[in-house]
Every structure is written in C-alpha cells, then in structure tokens.
Amino acid sequence: MKDDHFYLKCILLFVDDDGDKKKKDKKKKKGEKEEKEKKKGPSKATVKAMQEALARMKEEEERAKREEEERERRLAELEAQRLEQERLEAERKEKKKQKDKERKERMKKEGKLLTKAQKESRARAEATLRALQAQGVEVPSKDSMPKKRPIYSDKRKKKPAAQTPEGMCKLLDCFIFIFMVLKPFVFTAAEPSAEAADLDDWEAMASDEERELKKVHIEVKETKASQPAHKSSAPAKQENGSEDEEEDEEDEEDEDEEDEEEGEEESEEEEEEEKETQTAKTKSKKEVSSESSSESDSDDERTKEERLYDKKRRQENLKNINLDKLRAPVVCVLGHVDTGKTKILDKLRHTHVQDGEAGGITQQIGATNVPLDTIVEQTKMVKNFDRETIKIPGMLIIDTPGHESFGNLRNRGSSLCDIAILVVDIMHGLEPQTIESINLLKEKKCPFIVALNKIDRLYDWKKGPETDVVATLKKQKKNTKDEFDERAKAIIVEFAQQGLNAALFYENKDQRTFVSLVPTSAHSGDGMGNLIALLVDLTQTMLARRLAHCDELRAQVMEVKALPGMGTTIDVILINGRLREGETIIVPGVEGPIVTQIRGLLLPPPLKELRVKNQYEKHKEVCTSQGVKILGKDLEKTLAGLPLLVAHKEDEVPVLRDELVRELKQTLNAIKLEEKGVYVQASTLGSLEALLEFLRTSKVPYSGINIGPVHKKDVMKASTMLEHDQQYAVILAFDVKIERESQEMADSLGVRIFSAEIIYHLFDAFTKYREDYKKQKQDEFKHIAVFPCKLRILPQFIFNSRDPIVMGVTVEAGVLKTGTPLCVPSKGFVDIGIVTSIEVNHKPVDTAKKGQEICIKIEPIPGESPKMYGRHFEAVDIIVSKITRASIDALKNWFRDEMQKSDWQLIMELKKTFEII
C-alpha cells in the first residue's frame, strides 16, 4: 500500500515539472493561451495513470482482507478440531474407566478379587508349603484323606458356588498347622549341637523367601511327587490369570479404532511383565532344584564322616601355615612388544632364548625357576642389600608375549603371579600393550615394579654392570644424566595419567603408595642386580603372609603342548602344595572335566625355560612354586587358564568335577565352533586362542581346532568344507610340523594349508588368500550380480531412440554399472536392453551413483527385437535394473562391501516390484 502512494506522488511531480518547462519555452505573446490551458487541468495520460494506481491500491486492500478472513477461518477450524479430539479422549477414558469398574465388580461378586493382604497371606502359605516339601515332609493331600460316604440328595443342577478367598486362605492355614505339628518330629533326627544352627538357617530362609515374595509373586508349579498338595492353590491362580486375560481380550475387542494403538501398548506391557515374572519364577525354581539336587547327591554319594574329614583336612592345612618358611614367589614379566622382556630373563639366566625365537618374537608363555644361588650372585653389587637374610628359596619367573594378539596369555600370566615386572622402554614410554598390562594388574590387584629398560640407548651412556645402578648414573656425563631425568619424569607423568603414583626406586620413601622405577639395560646388564634385589625385598616383607608355606594344593594349567615322543603334555604352575606321580588329577577340558592319572612329572633344569626343549628331569614328587610338565592320558582336549585339582580319595572325584564345571562354563563360551569355517591348528593352546581371537575380529568362522602336528585326519576334516563352501577348505597351521603325507593328501583333495612360525605372517597370508579368492569370485559373478538402480529419463537429451538407445538420465536411487539390464515396470516389465557405456561430462565411467546426470547407451538383448523410445516406453516412465534371486544372492555373497544401506532398501523395494521370494 505504501509503495502505491509513493508511485502516485512521483507521477504528480513529473507532471508539474513538465508543465514548467513548457511555460519557459513559450513567448509572452501567448499568455492568454497559457492561462486557458491551466484552467483546463491535467492531461488524459496523467489521469489514466492516477486511476490505475488507485485501482491497484483497492485490489491490494481487498486481497489483504481476504487473506485475513481465510486465516481466521482456519484458526477457527483448528480450534474446533482440538475441542472435538479432547471430547473424544474424555469419552474414551470414561468408557475404559467404566469397563474396569464393571469388571472389578463382576470379579468381586464371583469372589475372585483379592485384597493385597489376602494375596500376601496366600503367597506366604505357598512359600511355606514349598519349603515343607524341600525338607522332605510328606504333606497330606486330598487323595490321602479318608473318603466320606456319598450322600445322595437333589439331582437338579445348581450353580457352583464361587470359591471365596477366605475359604482358600483357611485351607492353606490348615496346611501350615499340619506342618507346625510335624516340625518337631522332623528336626529331632538331627544332632543336638546342630539343632540351633539348622533352626536359624530355616528362619533365615523363610525371611529371605518372604522378602522375595514381596517383589515377585512366585507360582508354585505342581510336581509328580507334590501334585495333590498344590491342587488347592494352583487352580485358583490359573483361574484368576485366565479370567484376567479373557477380560483384557474383551476390552480390546469392544474398543473403537482410535483406541486400538493404546490397547496394543497396554497388552504388550502386560506381556512383558508376565515374561519377567515367569523368568523370575523359573530362576528361583532352578536354584531351589539345583541346591536340593546337589545336597541330595552329596548326601547319597558321600557320608557325613567323609565330608567332615575333608573339612578337617583343609582346616589343618590352613593351620599349618608357617610365616617363617616362605615359598618361591611367582613373578610375571609384562610389557609392550620389543621392550626387552625376554632379553632381561636371558641376562638373568645367561641364556639366548630370545635369539632362537622365530623373528625374535615371544609367542608362547614360559616359566623359569631361578634358584637362590643365582639371586645371591646377581645381587652382589647392590649396596644396602643383605644377601644372608634372604628368606625365599628362589623365584619362578613367567615370561609373556607382548604382541596385541596374545592378550589371553598376558591375562593368564597376571592371574598366576604374586608380583609382576612391567618392562617399559625408556625411549618410548607407555605404549598400548603396556597400558593393557597396567589395567590387567589393577584388575587383579597385583603389586608390580617397573623396569625402565634400554638405558644403554641414552647418548654417551657408559655401562657399569658390576656396580650399583645408582653409582653408574652418577658417573654419567651431565648431558646423559639430564636426558635420563627428562625421560624418567615424562614416564612418571604418563603413569599419573593412568592413575598411578610412580617414583625412581632410590627416591621412593613409600613402597605401598608409589610404584618403583628401576633403570635397567638387558643389553649391558646395568641395573639387573637392583631389579632382583628390589623384588626379593618386596616379596619377603610386604608379601610374607601371601608366600607363607601351605600344604593346600593350588595349581593352574598354564599351557597345553604336543611334544614328539611324549604326546600331549600340560605345563602347570604349582603355587602351593605338592604333586606326586600316580595321583588322580582333574583338569578342565573342552568337553568337560578330564579325570586322569599323573604318569610323569618333568622339570627343566634350573635357569632353563620350560617352553624350550630341554633334557627334562623326572621327579616322583614336586613341591611348591615350580613350573612342571605333566604327562598323562587323554590330555588332548585340556583347557589352559583354569585350576588343576587332585583327588586324594575316589569319592572326591565327582565333587571336584562339579567345582570345575562351574568355572568351565565361561571359558567354553569363548570357543564356539561353527558348521562352516576354517580348520585351525597350533602348537599350544595359548597361540591357538590368539589365532581364534584374530579370526573372531576378522569375522571368519572356524569349524575345527586341534593342537599338534597336521595329520591326515586333520586334512580329512578340513576337506568336508569343499562340499559346503570352498573358501573355508583351509588349514591355518601355526608353529606346527606338517607331515609329508598330509601335504600330499591336501594337494590332491584341494585343501590349502597355510603355515608360519610367526603368527602375523600367518595372518597376512590368510588375509591375502581371502582377498584373492573374493576378487576371483567377483570376476566370476560380475555378469550375474545386478546392482539396484532407478533412473528418470531426461526428455531433452534423447540422442538416439533405437538400436542403440542413447539418452540422458538422472540416477534417482541406487548404483548404475555397465552391463546392467534395464526394464520398465510400468509398461508390463518390458526389457529395453543392457547398459554398455556410461558417460559423465563426455568422459566414460564404469559406475554412476545417486544424484548424477549421465548419458547412457542401451543395446538390445541378444536374440530379442530392439525396443524403441516413444513406442515401447515414454519419458514419464521410470527405468529400473532387472534383478533376480540369483543376482541378489551374488550381491550378498561377494559384493556386500560395495553396497550401502540405501541400496539394500532399494533391493527390498524392487523385490516387491518383481515379486521375488
């Protein structure tokens, strides 16, 4: 409106200016004529412009008025709709409330509506009945009661009176009364000394059950033995439950369409609650049944005297703990790869184990027994260390791998040890596996000291292995000392970031609060004596109670190995107690606990690694803190990382088996074989677990596992995959010997055997094989696999309408590739041809994605008549790729990585279009 006023003023000003110019041009002679023209007024053009402006202003006002009226009308309609919805909602709630009220009234009349107090009393009575049956008391049932003489009366049908809650509660109170009468007779059979304890247990159990019943209403299911006793209570509950369900169904049927969604949500919530209560019930029943069955088994198999004997023997073993006589501590060496863990032990043992390992990489867990003489010899240069008062008889040091894949062996080593050495490269600080080891030690609450290794790599380092490392540091040049201090402070800061206080061992005033850092060099030998001296000092002072000698057996299976000439053996860390040849042992196995006898106990010589082949020494008996190799029968399927138990008597075997079963469940869940998968073979269980972990992370299934050399039977097992899936007809053999006959058989059957001494080389070889196999299959199936796409024709870019069709299109969805067959669903699924070339900006490409505008050439399908644009299909028709069941399967199996989520959604849409099952 304002713009129109401004426009009108401008026109009037323009007219005035024009009139002034005309007056100046005319002469004074024509004065009279000018006066006449002024009297006549504005010209016709001016008037017309003014009229048009006024007409526009009027139209604008009318339009604004109409819009305002339309807006007010819409608001009024919305308000009316809202009020109508509120009214319908109020009616629906009122209707539902009325139905609930009617249902409750009906249940109340029938006597099925219980109050909270009645429900609680019924639940208490049922719990008492269940406890009564668990104690073995025979509760009189309906069937056992003497039958009354039948009274014949009026035979006309009468309405059955509904059982009232009061009547049912009276019946349950009757059962409680019978139990209270029988209770003294049941418990008088026990010993007088145990009577009070049993009574307390019973009361505690009853109170626990009452607390549980407040949370969940436990339904007492009928068993064959106790069926009559529960007949009175169970049907009432079932009737109530079925009645409730029927009422819910009626409510849902009666409700309107608008109320269906809410009704469904409510029914789903009720179903979820019922499921939760059912799971709670089954759990409680299972626990009760398992406890009762275990108690009954122990009662049946072992007499009371035998159980007391076992308990007494264990108590005596614990009483005989001698704090003055300490066992050798188990020390675990942890750290990142290439920090020098094995090299430190080599320096201590004067061996060259690290030089003999494949690639210089530790891939197995090993144990070394360090005698007292070696400790005294290694610590002779350490000041303020009394070598004559050493209480420990030696050390058992466990070496673990540092590579990422061997997390299972680090976990196993840290769970065995009493104290740990965390090896840190002073040049690199804390690395990923170092942090992983710190977290393991925190989790196990295991004390540790830190070896700051590779100090010989500091610039201008002057070695001094025969002197104390503190004195060696003082002798260094200023720049070397400054570099050491700088790097040590940086590592202390990194430890602080992990939530640990750390300090150099000679500055550490509080060993319990601060972790000690010992500068060492496994290459030159600097600081090795200080490391051993600190270990000895900490173990015999702070860990004295933990290292006290005890006869109670504590042993753990560390590794399972197949040795030539000996068969399958197990490496065991014996922490407490003793093992004797001929004893019956129970070890964990893949298919359950294995019971066998010790046929031989082998120990490596002192300062020799258990995992390295040595001249083992045979022993009849082995005492505490030893890494021992056990020979026995049926040890092929033993699982490492779990305890080894010894049965001193024959009747102890089933009890010890039950103990191991509980610990086995979690471990067995980790090793799950698939129907289709590769066959895995390794020299030890630890390396086998590392291989399986790699396969799990790579999402490669495995169908079979074995420990030891590759035999013909292993090739036969792997060859079964040729019938199912050829890519899995593979044996991954890590650090094992492949027999010549096995290799020849594999070549003839078409089974691939990958072998390597370094686990990462095996990973690389198998990964390359998978990629090559996948590429081969993609080339084989590229003519079958059809990627989904949806194209819209650009009618202004039709370059050729027939044989070949050349046109411009837009990719609306999916992926278009050369070789894709196209069809038009809207014209009776007419096949228009195959895409032979794609161009984007006059450049040929193989693939076009969603949103691109491209030019395509469509050639006719061989053997079919060419289709023509304008006759068989038009510009308004959508073109899609013609997919089949075979093409979808090919995409799933071999081209999954090239497909996105939106492409799979388009596949689902096209499946419906083409009616593919």
The catalytic residues are: 403
Do 629 and 616 meet the contact criterion of CB atoms below 8 Å apart?
Answer: yes
Of 409, 412, 404, which is closest to residue 436 (Cα–Cα)? Answer: 404
- For 416-433, give the DSSP string: H-SEEEEEEETTTBS-HH
Using alpha carbons only, how large is the chain's radius of gyration in Å? 45
Residue 446's closest CA among 491, 408, 411? Answer: 411
What SS3 state is found at 663? helix
Cα gap 885→785, rounded to integer Å? 10
Cα 116 from Cα 135, distance rounded (Å): 29
HEC letters along 259-315 = HHHHHHHHHHHHHHHHHHHHHHHHHHHHHHHHHHHHHHHHHHHCCHHHHHHHHHHHH
Q: Which of 361, 552, 338, 509 is nearest to 425 (CA)?
A: 338
Phi, psi of 133 (to 5 degrees): -65, -40
8 A C-beta contact, residue 803 and residue 836: no
How many Cα atoms within 13 Å fall on the side-chain side of residue 681? 24
3-state SS class at 589: strand
Dihedral (C-alpha) 747, 751, 754, 755: value to the nearest 10 degrees?
-60
d(CA 891, CA 608): 56
The percent helix, strand, coil of the chain (3-state, each to 5) is 50, 20, 30
Would the CA dihedral through 233, 239, 245, 251 be positive or negative? negative
Report the helix count and the strand count for the chain, using DSSP H and E: 27, 30
Q: Which of 563, 569, 559 is nearest to 642 (CA)?
A: 559
3-state secondary structure of 447: coil
The label of the residue with tokens 């068993």 reads 223
407-416 vs 685-697: helix crossing angle, rounded to 10: 130
CA distances 242 to 74, 239, 247, Å, are 51, 5, 9
Tell me the C-alpha distance between 752 and 283, whole Å.
48
As a whole number of angstroms, the distance between CA 311 and CA 298 comes to: 14
Q: Check: CB of residue 366 under 8 Å from CB of residue 399.
A: yes
Q: Which two tokens stand for residue 496?
A: 């602080």
Torsion angle of C-alpha atoms 302, 307, 309, 314, degrees rounded to 10: 130
Beta strands in 1-67 (DSSP E): none
Q: What is the DSSP letter of 740?
A: H
Contact 823, 887 (CB under 8 A): no
884-892 contacts at long range (C-beta below 8 A, 24 or more positions apart): 884/786, 884/914, 884/916, 885/916, 885/917, 886/784, 887/784, 887/785, 887/786, 888/916, 890/781, 890/784, 890/785, 891/785, 891/786, 891/787
Residues 6+ apart with CB under 8 A from 664: 588, 589, 592, 593, 639, 642
Using CB atoms within 10 A of its CB, is residue 852 exposed (0-12), middle (13-18) or buried (19+)? middle
